[in-house]
Amino acid sequence: MDGLKSIGMSMKSQISCGLFLLISFWVQGQKFHDQVRFLEHLETLGEYKEALYYIDQIGKQINLSAIEQDSIFFIKGRYHYELKEIEKSIDAFDKVGMRNQQLFEVAQVYTGFQLSYSRRFDAARRKFESFQSSDSLRLALVNYQMASLSLLERGLGRFSLYADRFEDKYYVLSDYQKDMKGIYEELKSHKRKSPFVAGLLSAIVPGSGKLYNGQIGPGVMGLVSTGIFGLQAFEGYRKDGLKSARFIIFGGLFTAFYVANIWGSVVSVRVSEQRYNHTVDEAIYINMHLPIRLLYR
Amino acid sequence: MKRFTLICIYLSGCFIGKAQITGDSLYESGQYFQAAIAYEKEAFFAPNSELQDQLILKRAYAYKALGNYTKAFNITSRISKKSDSLYKVVLYERILLAYLSDEYQKAHNELLKWQVRYGENSEEILSLRFLTLVQIEKMEEAQEILNQYASELSINQEEVSSLLEANWQLKNPDKAYMLSLVLPGVGQMYAGHFFKGVFSGVVQTGLVIFTAWNVYHGYFFTGGMTGATLFYTFYLGGARYARNLTIQYNDRVKSELVNEFLDIASKK
């Protein structure tokens, strides 16, 4: 009897033990689900800093499976991306494993774009070139990213190679592909202005180098300011002669302004060339980033 | 086996215990950023909107404790304010937070809402109204509050008169600008900087003499270009400088009044 009793007891405790384990697993599963829902909520609020902190807390509380860990790294990468913390974002995306093929591939696209954005072109190209997928849209997206990367490097010939593979059947991509081709045409027709010609022009007629660069206001100002000192120096020379203090002062000022104007024309051509490149790069970045965001946000 | 069961119970108990770190406990231990997240989470899973509103208000407190007043203010905008008692608390916070984030016009707007809805004047509200009015340069209304509500503010008559005797006189920046245009240097003097005014006047008179001397002696280009151009630059620049000096002067007057008021209030 006692023996039976003890068996009964032990069975009971086994059941209750199992139940507790079950409850604790259920709590954990439910909890993880809730935590993900809350994360999404933080994301809609735009609270990426809070969300990142919260993700670390989840990692500490629950033993996550490998697949869950992959999605956590993926989400972290995206949040750092939203906060424009490129290094941390790349770091997190790199940790996304291959268990979930889709996450892995999208993480690579994000990394490739961010490498391009931080102007590590070689690393970006390697990332894109090693990309493999069975999904034709993703392949088309990577081809588009490679084309854009070639434009960032100003490899116009390479761009046309990729652009030949552009397809119109993906409506998410087709508009951006058209825009990128527009940028290509713009770069192709862009005539670089020569700093030497600008300097030479300014040496002949002060200010004309800036006019050549398309800057009407500064060009006129250059002519007027140099002219003002030239006329005053002329006045000093006419009235007081070559050795007068007046002629020496204004003559010196005139020379300084004349030389500075030549130098200024050279610099202004370089600056506007840089500004042009910067504007084009910004347009390329935006067109690279938008389809990724549209597809995988 | 029994022991194993107990261990299981203990473990799951631990697990549940861990989940009960609340926003309140984090807030009390000074971990405001973590508290803000916990409050947001509690609000997200709150069973009813009333509780949700309270928790979002607590979240705003957490950001207030972190010194991020603008963000705290924006968080209060998410509260639906259905219950009247909560509405009052939230409105008070919004006034305070707007003031703390240097958005005085916003604070004034919230104060007007308070007056329309409640009309009552607690010590805190009156203080905030006084401070806000000084900051948006409505000096007469601020003085009126001192005269009318001295007892509510628990300020005695002596302190009121010492406050009223302080410098309340603001100066008009545009007037300083115009004065300097009429007679260079006078605008700076009006703003309280006598020697800066004299210096400005002397420089510009010198430039006028330089121009006149050159033109008189037939150096028309030098007189017309160097003299007149420099004079023109100093003339307009001096007037703008006089305007900026006046704005700085007004800021000083306001901050002295605010500090004196806060000194008196903190003595109690």
B173-216: per-residue pLDDT in tens? 999 999 999 999 999 999 999 999 999 999 999 999 999 998 89
ipTM for the predicted complex: 0.71
Please, what is the average pLDDT of chain A?
Answer: 86
Q: Write the CA distances from B216 to A72, A114, A264, B211, integer angstroms.
A: 83, 69, 36, 8
Q: In the predicted model, what is the mean pLDDT of residues A109-135?
A: 93
A6 and chain B in contact, CB less than 8 A: no
Mutate to test the interface with A, among B18, B22, B37 (most CBs of A within 10 A): B37
- Tell me which chain B residue has its CA closest to the CA of residue A238: B219
Which pLDDT does position A17 carry in this prediction?
39
Scored b (16 or more CB within 10 A) or e, B220-239 reads: ebbbbbbbbebbeebbeebb
- CB contacts under 8 A, A 44-63 vs B, are 45, 47, 50, 53-54, 61
In this structure, of B102-111, B218-227, B251-260, the range with the lowest mean pLDDT score is B218-227
Res B16: pLDDT: 37
Locate the chain B residue with the closest alpha carbon to A237: B219
How many CB pairs (< 8 A) connect A and B?
A: 73
Contacts of B40 in chain A (CB under 8 A): 38, 41-42, 45, 47, 50
Please provide the average confidence, as pLDDT, over all residues in chain B. 87
Nearest to A150 by CA among A175, A184, A118: A184
The pLDDT tens digits of the residues spanning A1-19 come to 444 444 444 444 433 333 3
How many Å apart are CA A94 and CA A108, to the nearest integer?
A: 8
Statement: residue B73 has pLDDT above 70:
yes
| Residue A60, min C-alpha distance to chain B (Å) | 11
Contact residues on chain B for A14, CB-CB shorter than 8 A? 1
Closest partner CB to B4 (pick from A17, A38, A235): A17
> Confidence class of residue B5 from pLDDT cuts 50, 70 and 90?
very low
Q: Which residues of A touch B18 (CB under 8 A)?
A: 61
Contact flag B37-A53 (C-beta cutoff 8 Å)? yes
- Is B12 in contact with A23 (Cβ distance < 8 A)? yes
CB contact under 8 A, A235 and B222: yes
Higher pLDDT, B60 or B268: B60
CB < 8 Å to B225, chain A: 228, 231-232
Which residues of chain B neighbour A232 with C-beta distances below 8 Å?
A: 219, 221-222, 225-226
Q: Express as a percent the part of chain B with pLDDT over 70.
A: 91
What is the tens place of the pLDDT at every residue in A26-62? 455 677 788 888 988 999 999 999 999 998 888 787 7
Nearest CA in chain B to A11: B1
pLDDT score recorded for residue A27: 52
Residue A157's pLDDT is 92
Is residue B121's pLDDT more than 70?
yes
The torsion angle over the Cα atoms of residues A282, A288, A291 and A295, rounded to 10 degrees, is -120
Residues of B in contact with A27 (CB under 8 A): 12, 15-16
pLDDT confidence band for B17 (50 / 70 / 90): very low
What does the pLDDT look like over A138-181, one tens digit per residue? 999 999 999 999 999 999 999 999 999 898 888 889 999 999 99
Cβ of A232 within 8 Å of Cβ of B226? The answer is: yes
Segment A88-117, tens digit of pLDDT: 999 999 999 888 888 899 999 999 999 999
CB contact under 8 A, B221 and A27: no
Amino acid symbol at A137: L
Give A290 or B8, the one with higher predicted confidence: A290
Tokens matching residue A22: 């079950």
Average pLDDT over residues B116-126: 86
B71, B92 in Cβ contact below 8 A? no
What's the first-to-final CA gap in chain B, in angstroms? 67
Q: Does domain B18-120 have CATH number 1.25.40.10?
A: yes
Higher pLDDT, A9 or A135: A135
- Chain A residue closest to B43 (CA)? A38
pLDDT of A66 above 50: yes
pLDDT at residue B6, as a whole number: 42
Helices (H), chain B: 2-18, 23-28, 32-44, 49-65, 69-76, 84-100, 104-117, 123-135, 139-148, 157-165, 173-182, 186-190, 194-216, 220-221, 228-267
Nearest CA distance, B206 vs chain A (angstrom): 18
Is A40 an interface residue toward B (CB < 8 Å)? no
Average pLDDT over residues B155-175: 88
Select the more confidently predicted residue: A10 or A267. Answer: A267
Which residues of chain B have a CB within 8 Å of the CB of A228?
221, 225-226, 229
Model pLDDT, residue B184:
92
Closest Cα in chain A, distance from residue B2 (Å) = 6
Q: Where are the domains of chain A?
A: 195-283
Residue A275, classed as helix, strand or coil, is helix
Task: Give the residue numbers in B contacting A (CB under 8 Å), as ranges.
Answer: 1-2, 4-5, 8-9, 11-12, 15-16, 18-19, 33-34, 36-37, 40-41, 44-45, 218-222, 225-226, 229
Q: Give the residue from chain A lying closest to B44, CA to CA.
A: A38
Distance CA B17, CA B25 (A): 13
Q: What is the pLDDT of residue B149?
A: 83
Q: Does A232 touch chain B (CB under 8 A)?
A: yes
Interface test with A, best of B68, B71, B211, B219 (most A CBs within 10 A): B219
CA distances from A148 to A119, A166, A180, B201 (A): 12, 12, 7, 61
pLDDT surpassing 80 at residue B35: yes
Q: Say yes or no: A25 contacts chain B, CB-CB below 8 A.
A: no
